[in-house]
Chain A
């Protein structure tokens, strides 16, 4: 038997059989299908569009298209005073406004070179850790939805509601806080705040366990996520992954530890990294697991802060805020550990104006998502959904 030729177009093979007969074999005519997933799709978490080239249910290649929510945050920044940018940073990552605000304020404070009162630092850490829990709750809940489990999502939102209430109580807004200001805070916390947060911690501990039992330990959930979308540690670093994504690949890297800011060096908490027993290192389950464990670590941080937070009589959280914020010429790259990874602000001041010359936001989701093309090669569509869910993108931050 000898193959004489092959026409690529419709997969036809011309074969000379052993008895000299020429047979034309025509394979089943297949071709790739282009599947546009998003921008309106239930599991792209917003307006992400993935153009998938699929072979049956197997994704040959998925190309992400961004920008559907782009509003050019950086252009706004060039037209706004330093303090007026803070509410815009809230709107970047609207699930973790406090953390993004903190990163931005750290940057400007570094440029201004000013001291922050200790009480302010403690409050900042408490609110950003509360926000981290709230953000992880959304991540875990929506991940459940992506994989078809609806109930954990609502349990997550029920508990997140308490955090939002707490944050509304201190900042006046539920999601877009504008609470952390350059050099201080918008308001001091209410007198009962300490007690109420302690109550929340006590309330949330058993709920987190229940959530793990319902979702993370579920065999179907484990089967769906284990070994899906494995990212080796070195590639993850090369892609500049950060936060739970990088830690899911087994790299113990947390800016709160490795580039400490605020009062994190004084606090005692673990950086959870998967051990490879329950999950394969670097897979979607590891990333989910890191988020789940981080919630408990955040609770630990909050408890310590509540214990150590100094009470100051007649404390004015705005006392040290400069009247006119005009940093001297210079540039800074400041970052903080967001729930989604490293959020950084590259701020350039020309020293003359009260507006930054340049304020680039390095968004964690944007960078984490850039590995999507690599991660999605050869995956099934359900796995693709599992991978997007585990990246935990917020399109407001991706597109800025």
Chain B
């Protein structure tokens, strides 16, 4: 995913440098709980390698006066079949405080994986996480309302997984079109 990003990292744009600065303060606080910073020009991100720290990192990112990532623009579920992992990608930025923005990736095992929920940190994560669960099937520990959101409650399978097989019938209705 990051071939060719090295030379891009050398001539980082202003936006990426801002993200890097934000990353540095997170890294200074959490050390090895976060991965290396990926300074690609389109969407600079870092990964949370210690799942249990994710809520703490999120709280820190939201509340630290240097960061103030108060706006969770998007939380996308993601399937990484090669690494046998599922994950979420959070695009964060700060409204009214700093111009920086950054993306955070959190990954969990593909089978029965769980990610701590950040819906207590950003309310908007509530529905986004429900959607990610609905589509990928990872659970979100501590989620206040852990249900499917877009698919029916009794739908089998998680549609956006790469190995998803659509069910033949749903309540007697033929499903594949």
Residues of A contacting B124 in the complex (Cβ-Cβ under 8 angstroms): 238-240, 367, 370
Kindly list 19 other residue pairs between chains A and B, CB separation below 8 angstroms, not including A237-B71, A329-B1. Answer: A66-B149, A67-B150, A234-B70, A240-B122, A240-B124, A330-B42, A331-B40, A331-B43, A335-B73, A344-B73, A344-B74, A346-B74, A346-B76, A358-B76, A360-B76, A362-B74, A369-B127, A370-B123, A371-B123
Residue in A238, A358, A366 whose CB lies within 8 Å of B127 = A366
Asked if A328 and B4 sit within 8 Å, CB to CB, the answer is: yes
- What residue in chain B is nearest A240 (Cβ atoms)? B124
Interface size class of B (residues with CB under 8 A): 35 or more
Using A240-B73, A344-B74, A367-B127 as known contacts, say yes or no to A72 and B95 having CB atoms under 8 A apart: no
Could you tell me the distance between the alpha carbons of A72 and B150 in the complex, rounded to whole angstroms? Answer: 9
Residue in B72, B77, B96 whose CB lies within 8 Å of A251 = B96
Using A66-B150, A342-B73 as known contacts, say yes or no to A251 and B123 having CB atoms under 8 A apart: no
Asked if B43 and A253 sit within 8 Å, CB to CB, the answer is: no
Asked if A333 and B73 sit within 8 Å, CB to CB, the answer is: yes
Interface residues of B (CB under 8 A from A): 1, 3-4, 40, 42-43, 45, 70-74, 76-79, 89, 91, 95-96, 103, 122-124, 126-128, 131, 135, 148-152, 159-160
Query: Does A70 interact with chain B (Cβ within 8 Å)?
Result: yes
9 residue pairs bridging A and B, Cβ less than 8 Å apart: A72-B150, A328-B4, A329-B1, A331-B43, A333-B43, A342-B73, A346-B91, A367-B127, A367-B128
Within 8 A of B (CB), among A204-227: none
Could you tell me the distance between the alpha carbons of A335 and B76 in the complex, rounded to whole angstroms? Answer: 14
Could you tell me the distance between the alpha carbons of A110 and B152 in the complex, rounded to whole angstroms? Answer: 35
Asked if B126 and A370 sit within 8 Å, CB to CB, the answer is: yes
Could you tell me the distance between the alpha carbons of A331 and B95 in the complex, rounded to whole angstroms? Answer: 23
Query: Does A111 interact with chain B (Cβ within 8 Å)?
Result: yes
Give the Cβ gap from A385 to chain B, nearest Cβ, in Å.
Answer: 22
Query: Does A263 interact with chain B (Cβ within 8 Å)?
Result: no
Give the Cβ gap from B54 to chain A, nearest Cβ, in Å.
Answer: 18
